[in-house]
Amino acid sequence: MDFNGFRRSIRCYKNIPVPYEELLKLVNIARFAPTASNSQGVSYIIVKDKKILEKSTEIIVKWMEDNIELHWSFSRHINNYRKNGIDSILRDAPNIILATAQKDFKNGRENSISALSYVELFAPTLGIGSCWAGLFEFCAFSNYVPLLDLFNISKDKVITGALMVGYPKYKYKRLVDRNKLDVTCIG
């Protein structure tokens, strides 16, 4: 079976930026995703400059150091960064796509998950890989001001999702294992 074109979380990227036009194609697909009552309400920030991502990793590491009790993995990510210079948070991704919504919009997160899942599925058709930036989200959802300031998030808005994107460094021969199908048929 040929797995090229299949989606996998990509954690190793080529050190080349994705052209803005391609990033725009990804975001344009996102807005066709289904949303609750077609409420939509998600806007996007495309980060083109890798230096901004490097800065955000630095900010997140500082946040982890100040909130070490929040998750068992934080000490590992801090060590990776401080001792070995490895970015296991944003994986040296050249680009990131952020979803944002109004602070008082109740469907912001779920609509963003729907939208960014479309991006994830579409990206491989353009030869682009992606991975949810869950640790970035963890920090952003706590409304850590230095991170929000870095991306110019206004006071009435929140970050509702984050996806690293870039050209995959490696080709994968198989998908990641899944549990067996758990399904019940009624009627």
Annotate 124-159 with DSSP letters as a single string: GGGT-EEEE-HHHHHHHHTT-HHHHHHTT--TTEEE
Q: Is 110 in the site for ligand FMN (CB under 6 A)?
A: no
Query: Judged by CB under 6 A, does residue 131 bind ligand FMN?
Result: yes
Least distance in angstroms from the C-beta of 137 to ligand FMN? 7
Q: Using CB under 6 A, which of 1, 155, 176, 182 touches ligand FMN?
A: 176
Q: Which stretch binds ligand FMN (CB under 6 A): 32-40, 69-77, 128-136, 141-149?
A: 128-136
Q: How far apart are the first and last CA of the chain?
A: 35
Look-up of token digits 């491989």: 124
Q: How many residues does the chain have?
A: 187
Residue 11 in contact with ligand FMN, rule: CB under 6 A: yes
Query: Shortest distance, CB of residue 7 to ligand FMN, whole angstroms?
Result: 7
9 touches ligand FMN by CB under 6 A: yes
Pairing of strands 129-132, 95-102: unpaired
| CA-wise closest residue to 50 among 22, 78, 14 | 14
Q: Which residues bind ligand FMN (CB under 6 A)?
A: 8-9, 11, 131-135, 176
